[in-house]
Amino acid sequence: MATVNELKDGQTFEGTLWLVSSSVKRTKNGDPYWEGQLQDSTGSISGKVWDSSGGKGGRVKALEPSLAAGSAVKIRARVESFSGALQLNILEAAPAPNASPELFSPKSLRPLKEMVYELDAAIASLKDPDYKRLLSSFREGQQLFGPFCNAPAAKAVHHAWVHGLLEHSLQLARGAKALAPLYPGLDEELVILGCFFHDAGKAWEISALPGFDYTTKGKLLGHIYMGARLVEELCGRMKDFPEEKKLHLTHLVLSHQGERSEGFGSAADPATPEAIFFHHLDNLDAKVQNCFTAIEQAQESGDEFTPPRYPMRKTYYRVRPQGETVNHASAKPARDDSEKGSGPEEKSWPKLW
């Protein structure tokens, strides 16, 4: 069975896909046709059902009950090119109720076990006992931690894959460890906590089902409010958690998407060194990853620039300086003990000073 990213114009596709959206529309002549978005773990494609035989509503009427959004469906379809994009002309469809939803979403290329191990190492390295017990309680809360591990970091912008939220959080923690020492006055461990709490609300804001739709709570409350509330709740459950530390961490969550005037949803303007530092770190990771993903997805196209990418509608230069393959697991695991001693001198890097 071909995957969505392997489909070619003119071929017949037979297989099971996840239906993200589904609606019946009318042509200019008033004839009904069905339109929907389908996906597997490699990509997404739009689909149509036409009443080609001239029967009014015949095929559309027959197939529509099998084409419910938010479910898996077994289809036979012709792959066709329309306005420069491929789409599926669906000829037959049947529900596939036993197919498991997680098979139809893209997944982090970093193994979950390895990432949880890295989080545990980050917790173990914390010296501040309050920060340590707070992050430990987050890690131990199974009802909380399970959804956090499965969630994507965003619906589409960056790390939009299963386990993406954990991957993004760990990447930020690595960034914080690397950059914070340049600013000796910075509370590095507060920033590390921010890495894990700032987007934690996305575990409830975005559905883990294929398509990563916003949940009702997500639409009504948003991840910034939910993340801040999580911090307040966890701190409240802990005996004598210092008020000032709670305030700083809550502020970091509320302001992590930058100045309110920029319109990216922050509830407060970053007003501490840690909040300013963290906002730029978060933005850096999201934007670089957005660019890498665009390049990765356009790899086969042969074009110099990627197609405009949601939400900034930006195109990126696809050609890499060394011609290497880019993929979204390009982040390497943190340095481990086996790398000790391999400093710059041993690698004979050029001397800059």
Binding region for Fe ion (CB under 5 A): 199, 282
Question: To the nearest whole angstrom, how small is the minimum distance from the Cβ of residue 263 to Fe ion?
Answer: 14
CB of 282 to Fe ion, least distance (A): 4
Where are the strands (E) in 190-244, listed by range? none
Residue 281 · residue 256 · CB < 8 Å:
no
Q: Could you write out the three-class secondary structure of 133-149?
A: HHHHHHHHCHHHHHHHH
Q: What are phi and psi of 222, to 5 degrees?
A: 80, 155
Give min distance, CB of 312 to Fe ion, in A.
15
Decide whether 106 or 194 has the Cβ nearer to Fe ion: 194
Nearest-approach distance from CB 5 to Fe ion, in angstroms: 27
Other CB atoms within a 10 A radius of the CB of residue 172 amount to 24
In this complex, which beta carbon is closest to Fe ion, that of residue 40 or of residue 199? 199
Enter the DSSP assignment of 186: S
- When the beta carbons of 130 and 282 are compared against Fe ion, the nearer one is 282
Looking at the Cβ atoms of 159 and 309, the one nearer to Fe ion is: 159
> What is the three-state SS of 143-169?
HHHHHHHHCCCCCCCCCCCECHHHHHH
Distance CA 53, CA 146 (A): 49
As measured in angstroms, the least distance from the Cβ of 257 to Fe ion is: 5
DSSP state of 183: S
Torsion angle, alpha carbons of 189, 191, 195, 200, to 10: 100
Nearer to Fe ion, 59 or 202 (CB): 202
Nearer to Fe ion, 34 or 277 (CB): 277
Which residue is it, tokens 């689909």?
47
Minimum distance, C-beta of residue 168 to Fe ion, in the bound complex (Å): 6
Residue with tokens 């392997």: 6
